Structure 1
Amino acid sequence: MVDRRPTVPVISGGETETLRTTTLGGIDGPIADVSRTPRVSVRDAVETAREEGFDSLRALPVRELLAILGEASLRFEGVGPPGTDAAGYERRVARATGMPVGWVRVGAHWLAYGLRHAGEALRAQSPTADLDVYDDPAYTRERNVGLAFAPRVRVLGALMPGNDPGVYAWPALALAMKIPIVVRPSDRDPFTAVRLARALLDAGLPPEAIHVLPGARSVGETVLLEADHGMAFGDDRAVAPFRDDPTVETYGPGNSVAVVAREPTDGELDTLARGIVRAGGRTCYNLTRIVATGACDADALADGLARRVADAPIGPVESPDADVPAFPDPATAEAIDDRIEAGGGTDVTAAYREGPRRIEAHGAAVLRPTVLRIDGLVDELPFPFAGVTRLPAKAIPGELGRSYLGVCIGDEGVTRRLVRSPRVRKVYGGRYPAAVDLRETHEEYLASFLYETTTYDP
């Protein structure tokens, strides 16, 4: 089924289709015309969010705001009123990004789930474990110490990725915390940001509080420059300009790691394989670096993982049964394949598949799942990909580099060192997590940079 080609609007005080647009191409041709926000409009959007947006959210009781997010979650998932065509949205994202539609659906579900359960995430980040502090910041500690949980910013800017709809749950939580957002969506997926904004506005969110500004990357850079604080998602090249900026939180690449210190069980191998393939291998929480240490045989570990991921289903991106993503730009797939070949190591998955890693399937370029047995640590790549290496336990976590997520199996001492290390932001002992839990940190809590604790003794 081919959808009518829509125009993706700017959302800032209403919807605007700009005179200047670009055509977004995908797996099977043009998908949408995307409005281009003039850079001169960015400052107006940020200033509106900072003044009218902040005041309008402050005026809403937090429980009323959470009810708005809950209603928006139904509209976003397509459970709400007519006109919220979830299937059409999922197809567009799949065709534009190459992410199989089943994984798009999973990401969209977790975004909607995050909206419905935003109150739980807010309680987890509240200094009192209660919601009232978002309405009245004053609270008491140690029976007689007067404190306040006060906003330290009035507007949050976000430079968003196109790898998974679920990542939009984090700026949406900022709205629940009464902080307006100005979003520059990914060129590859502008649809999620617009769909989310429409759902929130239809549910009653003040229009001054959310702005979606598709456009050149310079638009996103200006958003981060003008906003009080920012979030930037992406690979090393995308986030490098902001690494040393204290007003911007950077997310990516994940380079998530699993450390295995004994012979893993079949169930443990299954969960590690899920960590490689999940979400098409394109998210920060996908396992990329698999480290054998102690009594774990690295060759056997690589073979066990390769057998499990090599036959991940490849299909049209619109098939709900497909696990492996496609590449709208064949040159990107070729460059990644060449990079793997040049990096050395042994492709253990080659023994479990027929033909090369890079193929054309269903009219698109595809990289088949790959597990390397390699001496060094590999870098994250946007398909089901991992490198298995061996390190002595004493080198962990020192040689791992920065990792979003760490799994440790079979060595409590190594697990504890991972927990104590600032290099690994989330640690799971003995298992790969089954789902993203918004009560947990996403490297850190939003409240750690949106709010601050001050003294208030009346």
Structure 2
Amino acid sequence: MAAAGTPAPVHLDALGPRGPYRTRVPAAVRDVTGAEVARLSLVPPVYVTRALSALRTAGPVPASRIDVLLEAAAEEFATGTVGGLDVRTYEDLVSRTSGTPLPVVRAATRGTARFVALARSSAEQGRPRGTLPGPGRTGGGHAVWARRGDVFAVNASGNHPGVHRLWLEALALGYRVAVRPSRREPFTPHRLVAALHHAGVRQDQLVLLPTDHRAADTLIRGADRAVVYGGDDVVTRYAGDPRVLPQGPGRSKILVTADTDWRRHLDTIVASVADEGGTACVNATAVLVEGDPAPLAEALAARLSPLPGLPPQDERAVLPVCGLERARALDSHLRFVAAGTRSWLGGDGIVEDLGDGSAVLCPAVHQVDRAGAEQLRTELPFPCVWVAPWNRTDGTAPLRDTLVLTALTRDRTLLDTLLAEPTVANVYVGDHPTYWMAPGVPHDSYLSDFLMRGKAVVGTL
């Protein structure tokens, strides 16, 4: 029972093919202070199996209705009362449980709604020019764009509400979708799935399946295609499975060459590190400088050090918050990894105890002595950046395995080399922060590259 004056925990039911499902012993969802704020119904493996069977039997959302349904769901998500929660209550709960600053959550609400409304047209951007969206009526040979399966599963993370923008494209492409929410922040997928149901997507076309890890394996094995979020261990685990698209650390970077004055771009560099609370895979975790990196590191630390440490639901919050024990563990890990580097910020600790069981994760800036330093592969869930020297003999090797690379350079030959590097997913040229995203522009290639294929059709249908 909730204490006097404390709101009762919100019930988040599973949203199955026959409607909401509430378990007798739901799991507690706690905020960063440890207080219980919600109760999440976890479904067992047998429920997952039956839900996947129902999805497989159901037909796709009709293509003729998908845009109208998505636009209605986007409006409902952004402004409506969904699952008993108005948008302000929803945003407050997301901020309190994930530790993401409230202004970031509010911006994510608007951004997610925009991606929802444009999911069909975004998915269409990935269609090969030589294919048709469906079967033609002529007898000559042509190509159609066809699904590689029927059921798509999402094993989501809870670090940022924006992770739920991607799977909408699968629904728009005709897949039936099963979403496993993060137990850390289940509010965004619950709200999004419920909004889509209310807009007219049938319950047997889209389900929300909160589970433990054992049932999550059942979900991934039972789907035709799946996207799984996690760390390097997740990437390694699923690297050999062509049905699974692992979404691991972004290790986004900024490269500044000698022909560019970094001082003119300092706002962009700071924002790339600290925007979104520094929690997203598109936040910059390394800055490589052709020449002496120390002046840039010093300026970056000077800009990041005044950021205030506040509870996540504060209107002025800009830094992430987590439980005090986890914050201390992250601080210890950072000190271990940063051994031997030059600390410009955070060397004395990154934990600001808020006195309520939670702590702010304060920024850190460390300078390493070479572009190939192992520290550049360390990505942490707060504004933590490694600044390194880079020269032409280093080449692209230190820039590999990068989700977004912002290149502050005027060297066209170098840009061509970066564009040709297979392990750099996106190259932003000039004054564009690493976190820039837009509907229709690929995030880590188009999702449709993974979901769809060109199929030859000859003859009259």
Tell whether 2:16 aligns with 1:6.
Answer: no
CA distance in 1, matches of 2:421, 2:193: 37
Instruction: Tell me the equivalent position of 2:407.
Output: 408
Are the structure 2 counterparts of residues 126 and 261 from structure 1 closer, same or farther at C-alpha, using a change threshold of 3 Å?
same
CA distance in 1, matches of 2:177, 2:43: 16
Instruction: Tell me the equivalent position of 2:228.
Output: 232
Tell whether 2:302 aligns with 1:307.
Answer: yes
Shift, 1:350, TM fit: 5.1
Equivalent runs, 1:324-343 vs 2, <5 Å: 324-328=319-323, 330-343=324-337
Shift, 1:180, TM fit: 1.1
Which of 287, 293, 301 is matched with 1:290 structurally? 287
Shift, 1:437, TM fit: 1.2
Instruction: Tell me the equivalent position of 1:357.
Output: 350
- Preserved contact between residue 255 and residue 287 of structure 1 (Cα < 8 Å): yes
- Preserved contact between residue 404 and residue 424 of structure 1 (Cα < 8 Å): yes
- Preserved contact between residue 92 and residue 102 of structure 2 (Cα < 8 Å): yes
- The two structures have a TM-score, normalised by structure 1, of 0.91
- Secondary structure of 1:405's counterpart equals strand
Instruction: Tell me the equivalent position of 2:107.
Output: 106
- The two structures have a TM-score, normalised by structure 2, of 0.90
- Preserved contact between residue 120 and residue 169 of structure 2 (Cα < 8 Å): no
- Deviations 1:167-201 (Å, cap 9, x if unpaired)? 11111111111111111111101111110111000
Equivalent runs, 1:24-39 vs 2, <5 Å: 24-28=29-33, 29-39=35-45
- Preserved contact between residue 396 and residue 414 of structure 1 (Cα < 8 Å): no
Q: Residue type of the partner of 2:47?
A: S
Gap runs ≥5 in structure 1: none
Q: Residue type of the partner of 2:368?
A: I
Instruction: Tell me the equivalent position of 1:446.
Output: 447
Which of 155, 166, 172 is matched with 2:168 structurally? 172
Q: Residue type of the partner of 2:303?
A: R
CA distance in 2, matches of 1:320, 1:421: 41
Instruction: Tell me the equivalent position of 1:271.
Output: 268
CA distance in 1, matches of 2:93, 2:81: 20
Equivalent runs, 1:6-405 vs 2, <5 Å: 6-13=10-17, 14-28=19-33, 29-52=35-58, 55-57=59-61, 60=62, 62-79=63-80, 83=84, 85-128=86-129, 133-134=132-133, 136-138=134-136, 146-262=142-258, 263-293=260-290, 296-328=291-323, 330-343=324-337, 344=339, 345-349=341-345, 356-361=349-354, 363=356, 364-375=358-369, 376=373, 377-405=376-404
Are the structure 2 counterparts of residues 3 and 240 from structure 1 closer, same or farther at C-alpha, using a change threshold of 3 Å?
farther
- Deviations 1:337-362 (Å, cap 9, x if unpaired)? 112212221221259xxx74222136
Are the structure 2 counterparts of residues 422 and 252 from structure 1 closer, same or farther at C-alpha, using a change threshold of 3 Å?
same
Aligned length: 442
- Preserved contact between residue 160 and residue 185 of structure 1 (Cα < 8 Å): yes
Instruction: Tell me the equivalent position of 1:429.
Output: 429
Instruction: Tell me the equivalent position of 2:419.
Output: 419
Question: What value does the CA root-mean-square deviation take over the aligned residues?
Answer: 2.3
- Deviations 1:108-155 (Å, cap 9, x if unpaired)? 22111101122431331223499xx44x24499xxx751111111101
Overall identity of the aligned pairs, in %: 26
- Secondary structure of 2:397's counterpart equals coil
Are the structure 2 counterparts of residues 338 and 445 from structure 1 closer, same or farther at C-alpha, using a change threshold of 3 Å?
same
CA distance in 1, matches of 2:208, 2:83: 23
Q: Residue type of the partner of 1:235?
A: G
CA distance in 1, matches of 2:130, 2:109: 28
- Secondary structure of 1:348's counterpart equals strand
Are the structure 2 counterparts of residues 82 and 164 from structure 1 closer, same or farther at C-alpha, using a change threshold of 3 Å?
closer
Structure 1 stretch displaced more, 421-430 or 436-445: 436-445
- Secondary structure of 1:399's counterpart equals helix
Shift, 1:313, TM fit: 3.0
- Preserved contact between residue 78 and residue 84 of structure 1 (Cα < 8 Å): no
Shift, 1:77, TM fit: 0.9
- Secondary structure of 1:15's counterpart equals strand
CA distance in 1, matches of 2:218, 2:299: 47
- Secondary structure of 1:291's counterpart equals strand
CA distance in 1, matches of 2:408, 2:398: 18
